[in-house]
Each structure stands twice: as structure tokens, then as C-alpha cells.
Amino acid sequence: MAKEYDLVIIGGGTGGYVAAIRASQLGLKTAIVEKNKLGGTCLHQGCIPTKTLLKSAEVYRTMKESSDYGVLTKVEKLDFAKVQKRKSEITEQLYQGVQMLIKKNKIDVYNGIGRIMGPSIFSPLPGTVSVESDTNQENEMLIPKFVLLATGSKPRELPSLPFNKNNILSSDDMLQLDHLPESIIIVGGGVIGLEWASMLADFDVQVTIVEASNRLAPHEDEEISKEITQVFRKKGIQILTKAMITDSLEKDNQITVTVEQNGKKTEFTAEKMLVSVGRAANTEEIGLENTDIDINNGFIQVNEFYQTKESHIYAIGDCIGGMQLAHVAAREGTIAVEHMANQDPEPLNYHHVPKCTYSFPEIASIGMTEKEAKNKNFELKIGRFPFKAIGKALITGHPSGFVKLIADAKTNDLLGIHMIGPHVTDLISEASLAFVLDATPDEMAYTIHPHPTLSEIFSEASLMAEGRPIHL
């Protein structure tokens, strides 16, 4: 039997369920179709489980370094099964919370695969959603005024290194490990690769990173890339840039690869390999062929309010490409729903979106890199300030890193803020607020930051940009 809704959302990840809650607040009768669990990749295969593992790695590393703090103790062993158990418990707790929110907001949830149907007896337009469950019952038909596609993404596979769940693994597979490998080759030095490399190195795994571009963190400012490379090498991580894997051989529960770098070929052997070369949109088997929706390079094409070519069908999050981040998907979903409800939302300014990498040290940034700003012909003033000159950073025991502030020398407008060091993924929120409020470096400099805190580095970097440093 067909059921009518104002909005049907295909995909119950961060973008999907946040959009559903906002739609409910606006009085729209809303349903979510989700084939797995509410919360999606971020909750179950990404943000939450990986950060939980990173916290365990941090505690383990701190215990090994305890004598530096005057605490003389020994680490007996690492109980990886318990580490994994803690990860699962935290994920489950948050999952229960999402389910409660959905119930509280009176949102219907259909478990199964949602497919968009073409024009039919139900509607002259494409958009009726057929829900196919894994039971043998008849498909349910949902007839919405609007459809929101929030189908997310999956780890991108290399044809030459297909995932086998044995020794060539995706980031999803890594979360299911029952033991830590002695060694690992990580293909890709972006966000996912850096986080896993940092975590595994802290767990005493021998790590080798193979990155095709000329530097780690290729989407960050070049100075950030240089700093993370230096720190990683000090941690014992082997780093190969401008490197390509030309051959691989699996034998005796190990994998041997041939890496070509600067015209020279070298073999590397490890117990496991993680392939982390980006994520591909989930756009198959959702009925796009029954619509006029445009796809480019695998991603759904949308306008600034996330409408597809079919104006009553919207798409958000990883399936549209761009900044594949949970907080971005959530905001995109909110804007899309408010546009459906004629709320006249402001389009998202992606220049104001912070990016975070939860490696050790952490990386966070917002706005343009120095190179991007120069390419746009801005006249720049730059303030750099090291964490080693910040008292609270010294207290943490890990004062490496810096903040780099980039501003337009003519207008004093902030163009970019780039950070690497302790707790910068939390500190970046001040930078985000500064961008939203159109703050200038001198306004950041004269904002009183309590002492001793890590946040003082913002005023110090701002004073550097103004040519009036105090503590350096």
C-alpha cells in the first residue's frame, strides 16, 4: 500500500537524519529509507570509531612517555580486543541516541533499499520511492512531494589493488581487525591515511606510506605538509612521495609491492595494506536512470540549494562530491530542507568550512592556503606562531606545530588559518567564528584569551601578522 509524505530521504547518515529532524521541525511529514543503520558512515565506519581508536592510541603513547612527566610506570601490554570493545560501545551508545532523536521527532524509518521510480500510476513525475527490504514482503511505495538523496559514499577501490578483506583492506575493513598487524603499507597520504598511520605507529606498528603526489596532506597548506612529514618521520613512519605501486604479490599472509619512485623501483613487504585513496559516491541501484538527474565523475550534480535537474529531487553529502565531511552534509541537508519549505536559506559558503585531521599532531584549517591566495593575486600578510612558545603547549608535553594566519594586506580580511599541533581540531572553531563574523587579525589579537591556554596562539599569530609580536 502506498503512503504519502512531504519528504522522503534516501540515506540515514549524518546528512540524512539531520535533514529529517529539521524537516520535522518545519512541519513536514518525513520518512527515512536506510539499508543499514541510522548514523551512516560517520557513526559506524568513520568519524566516531576511528577517533575512538585514536584516543586509545594516545593513551598508550602517553603511558609509554610517562617518565617524561615524572610518572614511573610500565605498560604491561596492549589489549586490542578491549580497545575494539570500547569503540563498539561508544558507537552503540551514539546509535541509540540517534534512534531516540528520530523517534522523538516522529520520523518514520523504512529499513531497506530505496529506489526512485519513473513516472507511474502513483505520480506523473519521477520520485515515488520503492522500498525493497531484505525480507520477502512486497515492496512499500512512498509517494513524496520532495525526495532528498543522502546516500553517502564508500572507500574507493584501485583496480590494481582490489579489496580482499585479508591483506588488502579498506578503511571499513580496518575497523574489523581482531589484532594489530606487525607492519602495514598505507596507500594514500590524505586525511584517512594520515589518521591510520598516526594511530598504528602509536600502537607500535611499522608503517610505510605511499603517496602519489609530491607531499603528504596534499590539500593542506604546504607548510602543514612539511611539518607533518617531519613529525611522522620522527615517529618512525617511512614516507614515500611521488611514488606509485606498479606490482603486488600476496604470499604467506603478507603482501609485497613494487614501488616506483623517481624512476627507481623498490620492493616493500608488510602484513597488511590499507588503500585510502578517497571515496566514491553511492549512486548505483537508487533509480537515477529513471530520472533526468545529471551525474559527473560519479557524483550527482546540484545547484546551490542542492536541487538536481529534477527540481523536486535534492541531493546532499558525499554523493554530490565536494567536501565529503559529516558537518558539511548536515548543513547541506538543513539548507536543502529549508529551501523545500520556502524558508529562503543562505547558500553554504564552503570557504567558511573547517577541515580536521585527527592524527598526532592534529591538523585543522579553514579558508585558502598561501598558494591559493597567491594564485588569486591577493597581496598577503602572514602571521606564524609556534606552539613551543605557548606555555600550555609546553605543559601538554607536545609543543610541536604552529598556527599560520593569512590575511589580505589591503583589506585586512582573513583569507585562511592553518594549524598543526595539540588540540587544533577543537581550536579551529574560533577561526570558524572569526570567518563568519568577518573578524580582522587585529580584532583577533585584541580578543582576550585566558592564560595559560592553547587558544592564546590566535592572538599571538594575529599580532605577528600585524608586525607587533609580543612573545617571539
Show which residues are catalytic: 451
Query: Which residue bears the cell 512486497?
Result: 138
Task: Identify the H or E element spanning 370.
Answer: helix 370-375
Amino acid found at 136 = N
Instruction: State residue 142 phi and psi, 5-degree precision.
Output: -110, 125
Task: Check if the beta carbon of residue 29 is closer than 8 Å to that of residue 6.
Answer: yes
CA 385 to chain centre: 26
Task: Check if the beta carbon of residue 37 is closer than 8 Å to that of residue 112.
Answer: no
Strand-pair partners of 419: 364, 403
Instruction: State residue 21 phi and psi, 5-degree precision.
Output: -65, -45
Task: Check if the beta carbon of residue 128 is closer than 8 Å to that of residue 116.
Answer: yes
Residues contacting residue 229 through CB under 8 Å, at least 6 positions apart: 215, 216, 239
Task: Check if the beta carbon of residue 319 is closer than 8 Å to that of residue 150.
Answer: yes
**Residue 434, C-alpha cell as written in the block:** 572569526
Residues contacting residue 435 through CB under 8 Å, at least 6 positions apart: 351, 352, 366, 367, 414
Conformational region of residue 259, where left means phi above 0, alpha means psi within -120 to 50, and beta covers everything else: beta
